[in-house]
């Protein structure tokens, strides 16, 4: 789709504004770029100011007909809505034709979480003989599960306290990160994660001479670990663990939230630890908690099954 037309100037200007004024992450900018290119292709040469609500509804129908889910279309509409709000503020556009347009409904999808036994088996894995990389990976994954960080938050951690990206306070047992929309939060770090991080710090000192002196997690050559590299290492660990489950970084965040809610029942605390702006984003974990309770009932109650 994107290869057929060049990036329109209005899209480029909006992306530049997102980068400079909203400090949008690189992955966010790429997603916005793809969604704006969809709008440009569907508009077929017409400027955004020339589109009306009926056009947007027709575009939504086409995207749905191409197989996009309601969730994906909702994200696209959000990007378009933001574009028009920017055009109204900065380019004199009078109408936001995306306002009031809703995506097709999608069946509710619960996030997948590891069981507590699966999480333990994964973190106890020893996938290879390279002790330096194993030490780093163990520290990353223990911190993931201990604190419920997002992938970008973990990859961005620095050594220096007060870093704009985030840092670990070993003395207090806390990790501080700047999450979505620059919201800062501080989350406790468990003892196993602190121990793994301390072991990694001893190893890291031998790898960082020629690389990134700020990053907490670095590669063998001293460069900051990218999000893609972290995903790849986690896939390797998941295979070595023999769980037979596709494990991705966000699954650690889901597991952190689900297991914490199972133990505490405190939804507000889980909301704060995850950095959710709205409690509605956190309520999905109550469904995971109910699933867990239902499984316990089915397996333990003598009258649960016929």
301 is catalytic: no
180 is catalytic: yes
**Which is the catalytic residue, given 38, 138, 150, 259?**
150
> What SS3 class is residue 102?
coil
85 is catalytic: no
Q: What span, in angstroms and rounded, lies between the C-alpha atoms of 140 and 136?
A: 6
Which residues lie across from 185 on neighbouring strands? Answer: 177
b (16+ CB within 10 A) / e for 77-87: bebbbbbbebb
Which residues lie across from 224 on neighbouring strands? Answer: 218
**Which is the catalytic residue, given 285, 297, 303, 305?**
285
**Phi, psi at 97, each rounded to 5°:** -70, -5
Running DSSP on this structure, what letter comes out for residue 180? G
Q: What span, in angstroms and rounded, lies between the C-alpha atoms of 154 and 256?
A: 14
253 is catalytic: yes
Q: What span, in angstroms and rounded, lies between the C-alpha atoms of 74 and 267?
A: 26
32 is catalytic: no
215: tokens are 């990053």
Give one word for 181, left, alpha or beta, with left for phi > 0 and alpha for psi -120 to 50: left
For residue 286, give Cα distances in angstroms to 57, 248, 259, 282.
Answer: 34, 21, 11, 8
**Which is the catalytic residue, given 81, 231, 250, 292?**
250
276 is catalytic: yes
Strand 184-188's sheet: what is its strand order? 166-169, 174-178, 184-188
**Which is the catalytic residue, given 180, 220, 246, 287?**
180
**Which is the catalytic residue, given 33, 138, 224, 253?**
253
Active site residues: 150, 180, 250, 253, 276, 285
């Amino acid at each position: 789709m994107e290869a057929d037309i060049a990036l329109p100037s209005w899209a480029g200007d909006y992306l530049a504004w997102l980068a400079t004024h909203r400090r949008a992450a690189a992955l966010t900018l790429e997603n916005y770029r793809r969604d704006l290119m969809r709008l440009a292709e569907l508009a077929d040469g017409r400027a955004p100011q020339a589109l009306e609500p009926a056009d947007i509804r027709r575009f939504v129908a086409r995207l749905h007909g191409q197989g996009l889910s309601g969730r994906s279309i909702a994200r696209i509409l959000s990007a378009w809505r933001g574009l028009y709000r920017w055009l109204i503020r900065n380019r004199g556009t009078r109408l936001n034709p995306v306002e009031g347009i809703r995506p097709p409904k999608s069946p509710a999808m619960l996030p997948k979480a590891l069981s507590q036994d699966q999480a333990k088996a994964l973190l106890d894995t020893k996938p290879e003989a390279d002790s330096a990389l194993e030490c780093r990976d163990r520290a990353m994954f223990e911190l993931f599960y201990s604190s419920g960080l997002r992938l970008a938050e973990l990859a961005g951690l620095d050594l220096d306290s007060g870093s704009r990206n985030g840092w670990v306070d070993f003395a207090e047992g806390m990790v501080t990160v700047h999450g979505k929309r620059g919201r800062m939060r501080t989350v406790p770090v468990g003892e196993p994660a602190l121990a793994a991080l301390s072991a990694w710090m001893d190893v890291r000192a031998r790898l960082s001479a020629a690389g990134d002196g700020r990053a907490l997690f670095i590669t063998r050559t001293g460069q900051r670990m990218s999000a893609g590299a972290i995903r790849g290492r986690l896939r390797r660990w998941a295979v070595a663990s023999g769980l037979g489950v596709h494990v991705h970084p966000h699954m650690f965040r889901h597991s952190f939230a689900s297991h914490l809610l199972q133990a505490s029942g405190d939804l507000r605390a889980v909301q704060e630890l995850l950095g959710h702006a709205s409690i509605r984003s956190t309520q999905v974990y109550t469904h995971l908690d109910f699933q867990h309770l239902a499984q316990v009932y089915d397996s333990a109650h003598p009258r649960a099954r016929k």
